[in-house]
Amino acid sequence: MVLSTDWTEFQVVPDIKGAVLVSGLYDLEPILHTYVNDALNMSREVAQRNSPMRLVTPAAPAACEVLVAVAQHDSPEFRRQSQEYSQALRAAGWSVSLLDLAGVDHFDVIERLSEDSYVLTQVILNMISRA
C-alpha cells in the first residue's frame, strides 16, 4: 500500500529505494469466501479498496526496485497472487523481480531471515548495498 499511495497529496516526496514483498496477498476478494473473513467481516468494497492489485499505478521516474518473494510451499493462491502482482507491476513500468524460494513455507520464509546464508537475506542485503 505504501507503493500505491500518492504521497504528493500529503506534500511528501518519498525516498524509497526498494521494497521487499514476501508471501503476500495482493487481491483480498478471495478472502471474502473463506473462514478468515468470519473474523474480518470484510465487505467486497473494503476488499477492493484495500487490494494492492487494484491500485497498481504507473511507475514514477524515480520508482524503487521491487522484490516479490514467494515460498515454494506457499498455498497455490499465495503463489498465483505473487506472480500476477509482479506481472502487473512490471506492466506498469516498475522494476520488479519475482523470487521463488525453494524449500520453505509461508512461515519459515520469514524465520530464516536471521540466517546469513539464506538466499532471501542475501538478496535483501544486496538491494540495500545498491541503494
DSSP code per residue over 19-35? EEEES--S--GGGGGST
Q: Which residue has the higher pLDDT, 130 or 88?
A: 88
- Domain borders along the chain are 7-26+59-130
Are 51 and 27 a contacting pair, CB within 8 Å?
yes
Q: Which CATH superfamily is domain 7-26+59-130 in?
A: Alpha/Beta hydrolase fold, catalytic domain (3.40.50.1820)
Q: Which residue has the higher pLDDT, 46 or 64?
A: 46
Taking 80 as the threshold, does the pLDDT of residue 49 lie above it?
Answer: yes
- Which pTM value belongs to this model? 0.91
> Residue 89's closest CA among 47, 58, 130?
58
- Rounded to the nearest 10 degrees, how much is the dihedral formed by the CA atoms of 7, 13, 18, 19? -20
Q: What is the pLDDT of residue 30?
A: 96
Q: How many whole angstroms from its chain centre is CA 60?
A: 18
Cα–Cα distance measured from residue 76 to residue 88, given in angstroms and rounded to the nearest whole number = 18
